[in-house]
Every structure is written in structure tokens, then in C-alpha cells.
Amino acid sequence: MHVCPWWLAYFFDNGFRRLIDPVDEALDKWVKPGMTVLDFGCGMGHYSIGAARLVGKAGKVIAVDLQDKMLEIMMRRAEKAGVADIIIPHKCSAHEIGYAGVVDFVVSSFVLHETPDFAVALQEIYSVLGEGGGFYLTEPRMHVKADFFTKEMTTAAKLGFNVEVLDPAMLAYKAYMTK
Ligand SMILES: C[S@@+](CC[C@H](N)C(=O)[O-])C[C@H]1O[C@@H](n2cnc3c(N)ncnc32)[C@H](O)[C@@H]1O
């Protein structure tokens, strides 16, 4: 699948996004102070920065992307937001996260359809998530067809996730899973 070029992210990761898609509203029922959160395909950091505010100084956010430029802009924004010390940028490859630790929670927004094989990406996410950990996933309704999203969810369930498909938003399909 086509990987979102870094400059395009300016069109959807901006002040308007923060108004219509506030991270604390999306994640605060699951993400608590002190947790370690992995943001798979962090882009310019909408969810990484929001999650860093929720986990606080006692927690950390592993912000994972395959593009250096995304990680660079994400960290610049994290510094401006005063949460850079909570976020660890991590460059992955297209098929492998390559993070050695285990995390409490994974978020992945508008990414899965861009990976070369979503089953591989879901398996990678499953591997880094600790037992009982949560995983919040969104996919863009503009690019992803309903039956493709259903296939992603069926695959996640086959891998062992307990999948709850949430009510879609205007722009996004959403799911919450636990391991
Ligand atoms: C559409 S952007 C979304 C960025 C961010 N999650 C957001 O919601 O604003 C997709 C991001 O996923 C990253 N990406 C694409 N394929 C990936 C892969 N296989 N592994 C990790 N990141 C990937 C891209 O580099 C890009 O930053």
C-alpha cells in the first residue's frame, strides 16, 4: 500500500484535528499515568503527544514510524508541547517494529491500511503488547472500504485479540482490542 508522504500529514495533523479528535477523550478510559504506550505509525505525533500527557512523567510513549522525517517533526512538536522527555522515537521497518520491550497499550491511527501486510503488522503489535493490554485502532473511511476494515478485524481476532468494533466517527472506523 501507499505510505503517506510526510508533507501530507500537515493536512490532517493540525489544530483542527485536535479539536475534532481530542486524544484525551479517545484514550483516557484506558491510558493511565505511569503506563507505557506504543504509537504505531505515529506520523507527526497527534496520538503520541496526547498519550504522553495522559501517562505523565512516570510513563513513556514509544513513537514508532518508518519515516525519519515524521519522527523528527513529531519530536519537534513534542518539545513545543513540553512532553519530549516522555516520548522515545523509534524507527521501524515496513515489516517489523523491532522494539524489544513489552508495552501496556498500543494506539494506531490511520496506519494499518498503509502497511505491506496488515496481518504481519497486527502480529507485530500483538507481540509487543503485554497480557491484558489494550489496543485502540482507527482507519480512515476516506481510503479504507468497509469490507477491508472487516477483514482487518477478522484477522485480529484470529491472531488472538478480543475485538470490539466501536461506533465509527465521520472520518474514521474505530476498534478497541485487548490481548
Ligand atoms: C496517514 S499517517 C497517520 C499518522 C498518525 N498516526 C496520525 O494519526 O496522524 C500514516 C503513518 O504510518 C506510517 N507507516 C506506514 N506504514 C508503516 C509501517 N509499515 N510501519 C510503521 N509505520 C508505518 C507512515 O510513515 C505515516 O507516518
**Could you give the CA distance from residue 106 to residue 126 in angstroms, rounded to a whole number?**
9
Q: Domain range spanning residue 96?
A: 6-178
- Non-local (6+) Cβ contacts of 26 within 8 A are 50, 136
* Residue 25 in this model has a pLDDT that exceeds 90: no
- The number of distinct structural domains making up the chain is 1
* Residue 174 in this model has a pLDDT that exceeds 90: yes
- Cβ distance 103 to 38 under 8 Å? yes
Burial bucket for residue 90 (CB in 10 Å: 0-12, 13-18, 19+): middle
Does residue 1 lie in a domain region? no
Going by pLDDT thresholds of 50, 70 and 90, the confidence category of residue 175 is very high
User: What pLDDT, on a 0 to 100 scale, did the predictor assign at position 1?
Assistant: 59
Look up residue 118 and give its DSSP letter: H
Distance from Cα 66 to the centre of ligand 1, integer Å = 8
Please give all residues whose beta carbon lies within 6 A of any atom in ligand 1, as ranges. 3-4, 9, 13, 41-43, 46-47, 64-67, 70, 92, 94, 109-111, 114-115, 121
Of all protein residues, the one whose alpha carbon is nearest to atom 14 of ligand 1 is 41
Does residue 156 lie in a domain region? yes
DSSP string across 13-80 = SSHHHHHHS-HHHHHTTT--TT-EEEEET-TT-HHHHHHHHHH-TTSEEEEEES-HHHHHHHHHHHHH
Q: What is the pTM of this model?
A: 0.96
CATH number of the CATH domain containing 160? 3.40.50.150
**Could you give the CA distance from residue 46 to residue 23 in angstroms, rounded to a whole number?**
8
Does residue 99 lie in a domain region? yes
Of all protein residues, the one whose alpha carbon is nearest to atom 17 of ligand 1 is 115
**Could you give the CA distance from residue 114 to residue 111 in angstroms, rounded to a whole number?**
5
